[in-house]
Amino acid sequence: MDRDFWQARWEANQIGFHQSEINPYLRDHWPSLQAPQGGQVFVPLCGKSLDMCWLASQGYALLGVEFVAQAVTEFFAEQQLTPRQRTQGQFAAWSAENITLLCGDFFALTPDDLKQVAAVYDRASLVALPPALRQRYVSHLRTVLPTGAPILLVTLEYPAGQMEGPPFSVSEAEVRDLYAATHEIARVHSEDVLSDSPQFQAKGLTRLVENVYVLRPRS
């Protein structure tokens, strides 16, 4: 991950990936994961996503990881929360109520950091990574997650060559290449959202499909 690139995006407030409302796919499809009530949900590369607030409001404990400190401080400030701060391994851990954000490098996570995780929500993580990093990301995720934690994954797919990411296009074939060896994969929703995305129309895209997957670890 290019730290300088993402740091500059946050400093310039070029964060079009940040949604001002709860993601509707999360509301619609989270129940299908059957995550245990009160369990911990992991949100990788979390930014200051409002989706974390929705999950917390449903009774889950939230654990996010984000290496841009500005995103972490803005999240707690905008939610009017006063976080406690401590050091956890290679991370600065910020906690308030049932939300903990680890400020640091995703690839520095250890199994001990995620030992309480019951499920994962990935809306803007996999699609934020260039192709060369996606296999490493998934391999590390498998290494640090507890056995049995399902994943709700949201991806974008658009014609090759029409736009330079991020967000990057991630096809269903690639999702299956990345996860099929270890997970059962169900695509539960697919929708072309280009007509509602003028910023992507302006970039020249002719198709923009959002796909939602439920990934369950194989027993």
- pLDDT per residue of the chain (219 residues) written in tens, 0 to 9: 567 777 777 777 665 665 678 999 999 999 999 999 999 999 999 999 999 999 999 999 999 999 999 999 999 999 999 999 999 999 999 999 999 999 999 999 999 999 999 999 999 899 999 999 999 999 999 999 999 999 999 999 999 999 988 999 999 999 999 999 999 999 999 999 999 999 999 999 999 999 999 999 998
Within this chain, do residues 5 and 60 fall inside the same structural domain, yes or no?
A: yes
Within this chain, do residues 113 and 45 fall inside the same structural domain, yes or no?
A: yes
Please give the Cα distance from 160 to 163 (Å, whole number).
7
Residue 8: CB atoms within 10 A of its CB come to 12
Per the domain annotation, does 101 fall within a domain? yes
Within this chain, do residues 75 and 41 fall inside the same structural domain, yes or no?
A: yes
Within this chain, do residues 178 and 105 fall inside the same structural domain, yes or no?
A: no
Within this chain, do residues 44 and 120 fall inside the same structural domain, yes or no?
A: yes
Within this chain, do residues 4 and 99 fall inside the same structural domain, yes or no?
A: yes
Per the domain annotation, does 100 fall within a domain? yes
Cut 0.85: pTM above it: yes
Q: Could you list the residue range(s) of the whole structural domain that residue 89 is in?
A: 1-9+37-124
DSSP symbols for 95-134: EETTEEEEES-GGG--TTTTTTEEEEEESSSGGGS-HHHH
